[in-house]
């Protein structure tokens, strides 16, 4: 074991983590149950432990010490001593090198070996045994960092929620196939910051990019052994450091900040998909990487038998936000990404777990209340994935003010309606207006409804119209993974086809789906690659596929997909320039504004007002929605029947109108017209948007 010879002073417990002050570095680590903490310093390549220093002070459950000569770039980790007593919830093992929960940068990738586990794999009572092998050689190392960076004239876009259009993307997937980028930049933050990549987002018209997890995560051992990858990244091991796989060779954490600055210059906000509900350490049979070895009983929610973990995430553990120091770590992490990295918001994976007291979800849980009163975090965008796998975990519409929520009911309704399922007309109407039945409470606005028809988890848009069933064989689980309720329709052939009629129908169906979403009230979210026909070959659970199945194609985009991309960008432009399509209030058919104009009206195709019987009729598949104010008047004709229908024009359109969108023809640009008969023919399975010429 290396001997300690460096001078160390008491330091301060105030700021957790490794904090360089220009002269030396203060190290501080919370643990309520440890007996001793050793700081391990490594050489520049992280292979040799050159020094081990016991942190000399313990104040307010924080071990701390100051090393005058330690500078940025120094590699380090911790060994934490204490009882190994799983029956009491304690799993200390100083043979395991541990990651600092507050590390701002990690160096190196995880190299899996049995030494990563605190217990002896293969013993009769594995989870109660004790493993004495040293794990330092296989572990990534923490890096002392000077976080200072010159932001120059960086200005946050601060896009209003009602004007926000989200683009869900993957850091590597966005640029892995960009042949105009140097190979070492493809799949990195620097690649995403490339002007040509950003120009694609600008031309498309989105206002925010929501990145799948970019905080540090590892490839799970079971995936590595099967030749697969944790591609999505939903297994965080550290909440402050960016994933090393997205940092180009020789660069550091400032590469992430450069990406944010360039996106801001283009008017695009950056939203991070974050995973604070669980960690990569899994259940009692998982590895000892950080939190488990630092203070298992504080960082995790334990079961009634403390050898086990309470789990509502399906991954083995729940982070214990009822512990004030663990809650502090999460809040410090969020503030770090906002204040130091200029991030504009967060999407929280399985957010219901963050508001739990075991089996009960509480919208006034300490986590939500703490964010609401925080002057930094309450000013950025907060999006919940409003469910988890535990009792009562499905909580769509039940989050407190400040929060937006993924609305999977929107996805299912829109897909089912256009597929031809019965009884969805009323649900479609509600979702077109932002799902007031779910979100209109406590002063919440339509933007609280994040409307999507596709997301990373599930089929792409092209696959929704190309496959009836999932095809997940590549994941190595005999096609048993992923859900089977996809509400998809292959339009007559499963998967790839050369049949022009089927291809034409698929084009029309994806235009219907994307147009419905972009013409709805609420916050629309576009999935990366949907704009140009990206397919996963029917795989609806591509979490482990780091290949072209998940990467955005840039070259050899066919004429159909080029036309569809133009259609999407024109749709977004129409949405941005019509205030009726992004309202600040919920619309109701019975309400009128100060000029006596009714906000929204619903008509049958023959022009008669919709009645209760129409909404209750399971066969209702066509309707007109008219939006109006003193300046604008829009009519949306929706025909999910397979045959054409003559729609009667609403009052105010008889003297002339402009076709803004027609999904039957692919039109998403102004085309004027007039009908002496007062009718407009809508093709089967099509949507039309008209604007009055008044």
Catalogue the active-site residues. Answer: 349, 385
Residue 679's nearest CA partner among 637, 634, 648, 636 is 648
> 3-state DSSP call for residue 436?
helix
How many angstroms separate the CA atoms of 103 and 333, rounded?
A: 10
Nearby residues of 361 by Cβ (< 8 Å), 6 or more positions away? 352, 355, 392, 393, 395, 398
Q: Are strands 345-348 and 269-274 parallel, antiparallel or unpaired?
A: parallel
How many angstroms separate the CA atoms of 686 and 690, rounded?
A: 13
Token pair in block for residue 25: 């570095």
Q: To the nearest 10°, the Cα dihedral for 212, 256, 245, 43?
A: -140
Alpha carbon distances (Å) from 229 to 233, 313, 558, 649: 9, 20, 29, 54
How many angstroms separate the CA atoms of 529 and 415, rounded?
A: 18
Report which DSSP code applies to 45. Answer: T
Nearby residues of 281 by Cβ (< 8 Å), 6 or more positions away? 237, 287, 288, 289, 290, 291, 292, 316, 317
Query: Are the CB atoms for 163 and 578 separated by under 8 Å?
Result: no
Query: Are the CB atoms for 116 and 135 separated by under 8 Å?
Result: yes
**What is the DSSP track for 260-318?**
HHHHHHTT-EEEEEE--S--TT-STTS--SSHHHHHHHHHB-B-SSTTSB--SSSSS--
Token pair in block for residue 58: 């313990």
Residue 450's nearest CA partner among 347, 579, 371, 354 is 347
How many angstroms separate the CA atoms of 499 and 483, rounded?
A: 28
How many angstroms separate the CA atoms of 431 and 598, rounded?
A: 19
Residue 139's nearest CA partner among 280, 16, 7 is 280
């Amino acid at each position: 074991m290396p001997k300690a010879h460096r001078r160390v002073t008491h330091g301060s417990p105030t700021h957790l983590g490794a904090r360089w002050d220009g002269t030396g570095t203060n190290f501080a680590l919370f643990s309520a149950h440890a007996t001793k903490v050793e700081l391990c310093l490594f050489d520049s390549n992280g292979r040799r432990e050159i020094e081990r220093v016991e942190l000399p002070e313990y104040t307010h459950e924080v071990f701390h010490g100051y090393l005058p000569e330690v500078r940025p770039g120094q590699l380090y980790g911790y060994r934490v001593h204490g009882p190994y007593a799983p029956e009491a919830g304690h799993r200390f093992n100083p043979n395991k090198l541990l990651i600092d929960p507050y590390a701002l940068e990690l160096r190196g990738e995880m190299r899996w070996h049995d030494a990563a586990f605190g217990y002896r794999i293969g013993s009769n009572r594995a989870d109660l045994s004790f493993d004495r092998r040293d794990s330092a050689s296989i572990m990534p190392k923490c890096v002392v960092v000077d976080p200072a960076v010159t932001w120059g004239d960086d200005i946050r876009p601060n896009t209003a929620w009602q004007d926000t259009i989200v683009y869900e993307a993957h850091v590597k997937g966005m640029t892995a196939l960009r042949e105009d980028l140097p190979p070492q930049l493809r799949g990195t933050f620097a690649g995403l910051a490339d002007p040509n990549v950003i120009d694609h987002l600008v031309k498309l018209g989105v206002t925010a990019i929501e990145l799948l997890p970019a905080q540090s995560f590892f490839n799970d051992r079971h995936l590595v052994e099967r030749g697969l990858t944790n591609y999505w990244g939903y297994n965080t091991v550290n909440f402050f450091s960016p994933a090393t796989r997205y940092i180009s060779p020789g660069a550091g954490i400032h590469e992430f900040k450069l990406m944010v600055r360039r996106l801001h210059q283009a008017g695009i906000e950056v939203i991070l998909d974050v995973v604070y509900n669980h960690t990569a350490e899994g259940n009692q049979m998982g590895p000892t990487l950080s939190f488990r070895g630092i203070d298992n009983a504080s960082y995790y929610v334990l079961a009634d038998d403390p050898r086990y973990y309470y789990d509502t995430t399906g991954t083995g553990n729940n982070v214990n936000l009822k512990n004030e120091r663990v809650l502090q770590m999460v809040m410090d992490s969020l503030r770090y990404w906002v204040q130091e990295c200029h991030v504009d918001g967060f999407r929280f994976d399985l957010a219901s777990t963050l508001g739990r007291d075991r089996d009960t979800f509480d919208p006034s849980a300490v986590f939500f209340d703490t964010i609401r009163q925080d002057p930094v975090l309450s000013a950025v965008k907060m999006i919940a994935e409003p469910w988890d796998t535990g009792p009562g975990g499905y909580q769509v519409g039940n989050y407190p003010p400040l929060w937006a929520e993924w609305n999977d009911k929107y996805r299912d309704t829109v897909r089912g309606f256009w597929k031809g399922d019965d009884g969805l007309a009323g649900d479609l109407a509600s979702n077109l207006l932002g799902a007031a039945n779910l979100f209109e409470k406590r002063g919440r606005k339509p933007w609280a409804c994040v409307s999507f028809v596709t997301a990373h988890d599930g089929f792409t848009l092209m696959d929704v119209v190309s496959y009836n069933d999932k095809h997940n064989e590549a994941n190595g689980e005999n096609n048993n993974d992923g859900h089977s309720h996809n509400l998809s329709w292959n339009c007559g052939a499963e998967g790839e086809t050369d049949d022009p009629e089927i291809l034409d129908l698929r084009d029309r169906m994806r235009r219907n789906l994307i147009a419905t979403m972009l013409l709805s009230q609420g916050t629309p979210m576009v999935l990366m690659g949907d704009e140009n026909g990206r397919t996963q070959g029917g795989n609806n659970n591509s979490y482990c596929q780091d290949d072209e199945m998940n990467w955005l194609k840039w070259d050899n985009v066919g004429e159909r997909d080029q036309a569809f991309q133009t259609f999407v960008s024109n749709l977004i432009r129409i949405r941005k320039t019509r205030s009726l399509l992004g309202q600040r209030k919920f619309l109701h058919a019975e309400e009128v504004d100060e000029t006596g104009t009714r906000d929204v009206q619903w008509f049958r195709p023959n022009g008669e007002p919709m009645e209760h019987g129409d909404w209750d009729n399971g066969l209702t598949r066509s309707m007109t929605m008219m939006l109006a104010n003193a300046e604008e008047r829009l009519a949306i004709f929706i025909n999910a029947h397979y045959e054409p229908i003559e729609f009667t024009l609403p009052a105010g359109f008889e003297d002339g109108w402009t076709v803004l969108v027609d999904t039957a023809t692919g039109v998403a640009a102004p085309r004027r017209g007039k009908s002496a008969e007062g009718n407009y023919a809508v093709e089967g399975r099509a949507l039309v948007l008209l604007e009055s010429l008044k």
